[in-house]
Structure 1
Amino acid sequence: MDVCTSPTAQETEEFPPPPTRRPGMVRVWRKRIGDDRAQLARYWPVIQNLVSQELRVRYQRSALGFFWTLLNPLLMMTVLSIFFSAMSPGTKNFPVFVFAGMVPWGFLSGSINECALCIIQNEGLIRKIYLPKLVFPISRLLINLVTMALSLAVMFLLLFPLGARPSLPMLLLPLALVLFMAFAAGLSLLVATVNTFFRDCGHLVAVLLQAWYFATPIVYRAEEVFPARSMWMFRVNPAYYFIELFHALIYHGQWPALSTWLLSFAIATASLGIGYAAFKSQEDKMVFRL
């Protein structure tokens, strides 16, 4: 007896169903960014509480309290001006030159150092309740942002006593700050990720930041200390272009070159993209390494 195959079975055999299409990487990361934006908006009160609590605890038992946030950059500027002014004898208003580079560097250094430990230090909170892990590095970045904003306010108050003058190019200072914050955020997220899995990274970061500080022309002018043939060493330093932006806007009172803006934008975008991708790709595994 012949068994007839149904038309439906024949069609299914001859024409298999099309393979399911996987969402593209762009769509996946776009969804992740959208989800993170929604979660950060939902947990924004938690971030505010972490920032305000840290700022209160940091100076609660000192006599001057929160004024140390203002005095620290002033004292550091004074010390650096005394010891490093001889390296740049042709630099007028040397304290302004130092201040213009030291304030943003303080934000970068503080953000990276603190974000390296932010996941580990909040182990108890992470294990008890659910919080987006981005909350912790973002809160550390905001704490250092408050400190930098106050330091910049002090710097502008001292421009006239130190012999400098406000200029029209300073109107672009917010743009330079946004690019520098993106650059610092990317590095901070990358270091927070690596240090959660390899604890030696936190100790190594402090040493590398110290070396990076002296390799960046913050307390000296590169063209006065090094010959022209050695300037390539600064051009491979990603922080060099951001410090040059601040020096041009604040110290020189000049419009930075377009190439400096474009390189700063490219470096900031790459840093933020790499840092965010590294953090999100390992976010779910962090709790198992605490």
Structure 2
Amino acid sequence: MSKTLIFQDANLTRYLELLQVLVTRNLKVRYRGSILGIYWSLLNPLLMTAAYTTIFGMAFRHYYENSIINYMLEVFAGLVVINFFSAATTQALTSVVSNGELLNKIRLPINVFPLSMIAANIFQFVCGSLPFLVVATLLTSQNFINVLALILPLLSLVCFSAGVGLVVSALFIFFRDLPYFYELVVSLTWFSSPIFYPVEIVPANIRPILALNPLTWIIASIRQIAFSGELPDLSLIGTSLLTSCVVLVVGWKLFSNWRSQFMDLL
């Protein structure tokens, strides 16, 4: 029994070391020659927030206690979520195929490649957007419980993105046209998430369709924790966590079931 545990610990250690190497390589390649580097991940949602506020702020502010600032904060939170999901899953999609030559030379755990893309975006998020979100939460709620509770919907975001990333990276091995189709999926996900518009303007018969999008619950949970001034809503947190964990388990299972066919197609 002890030998089995030691063997498992050694495998886990090697897996984490490989994950670290891939994440470091990914970040170095991505930001080579860049002036702002990793802080582009913060600049993007800030600029998009400014653009949406300029265009829609006056029209929608009465849904946000007649405050442009409230609208800006909620748009920023929505953009942070959708940007993370879009970047992480799109990069994960091609990760296995782009490393096919390496996999044909060295035996490696294949799932480490899409997961390394998720991990790289986590690091980018922690260094870029997260500090801004934490400060905004602390200033708005004035409660450290809310700051700590942010971890839970963000964990939901990571789990959901990892589950989707595993599925699309596996499907791309079989269907090389998938990136074109996935662009449409990401666009639909963007517009079906209440990022720059209040959910109240959506017709009542359409809102249940929006509720099928797990990102809707994650965005709602982050906004409630960060900007409502109230204690965290456990029902929102629970719904987003449960949905995301189900997606992660399904994604992991599908990836594992299809893995035996990968090497013949790489």
| Range into which the TM-score falls when normalised by the shorter chain | 0.7 to 0.9
Matching residue of 1:286: 262
Q: Are 1:55 and 2:27 matched, yes or no?
A: yes
Displacement of 1:155: 3.4
Deviations 1:141-199 (A, max 9, x none): 01111122221113344679xx8454342321112222221111111111111111111
Instruction: Look up the SS of the partner of 2:264 in the other structure.
Output: helix
**Whole-Å separation in 1 of the counterparts to 2:83 and 2:37:** 19
Matching residue of 1:215: 192
After superposition, where does 1:210-249 map in structure 2 within 5 Å? 210-223=187-200, 225-249=201-225
Instruction: Look up the SS of the partner of 2:262 in the other structure.
Output: helix
2:26 touches 2:117 (CA, 8 Å); kept in 1?
no
**Structure 2, unaligned stretches of length 5 or more?**
1-6
Identity %: 30
Provide closer, same or farther for how the CA distance between residues 43 and 99 of structure 1 changes in structure 2, counting only shifts above 3 A. Answer: same
Provide closer, same or farther for how the CA distance between residues 262 and 165 of structure 1 changes in structure 2, counting only shifts above 3 A. Answer: closer
Give the one of 253, 270, 288 matched to 2:246: 270
Instruction: Look up the SS of the partner of 1:102 in the other structure.
Output: helix
Structure with the greater alpha carbon radius of gyration: 1
Matching residue of 1:4: none
**Structure 1, unaligned stretches of length 5 or more?**
1-34
Displacement of 1:256: 4.4
Matching residue of 1:250: 226
1:40 touches 1:135 (CA, 8 Å); kept in 2?
no
Instruction: Look up the SS of the partner of 2:110 in the other structure.
Output: coil
**Whole-Å separation in 2 of the counterparts to 1:65 and 1:240:** 29
Instruction: Look up the SS of the partner of 1:203 in the other structure.
Output: helix
Letter in 2 for 1:58: R
Instruction: Look up the SS of the partner of 2:215 in the other structure.
Output: helix
Displacement of 1:123: 1.2
**Whole-Å separation in 2 of the counterparts to 1:240 and 1:69:** 21
Deviations 1:78-121 (A, max 9, x none): 22322232452212221111111211221111111111101111
After superposition, where does 1:98-117 map in structure 2 within 5 Å? 98-117=75-94
| 171-180 or 75-84, larger mean C-alpha shift | 75-84
TM-score (norm 1): 0.79
**Whole-Å separation in 1 of the counterparts to 2:9 and 2:122:** 20
Provide closer, same or farther for how the CA distance between residues 57 and 279 of structure 1 changes in structure 2, counting only shifts above 3 A. Answer: same
Q: Are 1:73 and 2:73 matched, yes or no?
A: no
After superposition, where does 1:1-290 map in structure 2 within 5 Å? 39-90=11-62, 91=64, 92=67, 93=69, 94-149=71-126, 150-157=128-135, 164=140, 166-167=142-143, 168-223=145-200, 225-290=201-266
Instruction: Look up the SS of the partner of 1:68 in the other structure.
Output: helix
Instruction: Look up the SS of the partner of 1:288 in the other structure.
Output: coil
| 113-122 or 49-58, larger mean C-alpha shift | 49-58
| 274-283 or 253-262, larger mean C-alpha shift | 253-262
**Whole-Å separation in 1 of the counterparts to 2:199 and 2:255:** 35
Provide closer, same or farther for how the CA distance between residues 44 and 257 of structure 1 changes in structure 2, counting only shifts above 3 A. Answer: closer
Aligned length: 253
| 116-125 or 87-96, larger mean C-alpha shift | 87-96
Displacement of 1:262: 3.0
Displacement of 1:38: 6.0
| 140-149 or 166-175, larger mean C-alpha shift | 166-175
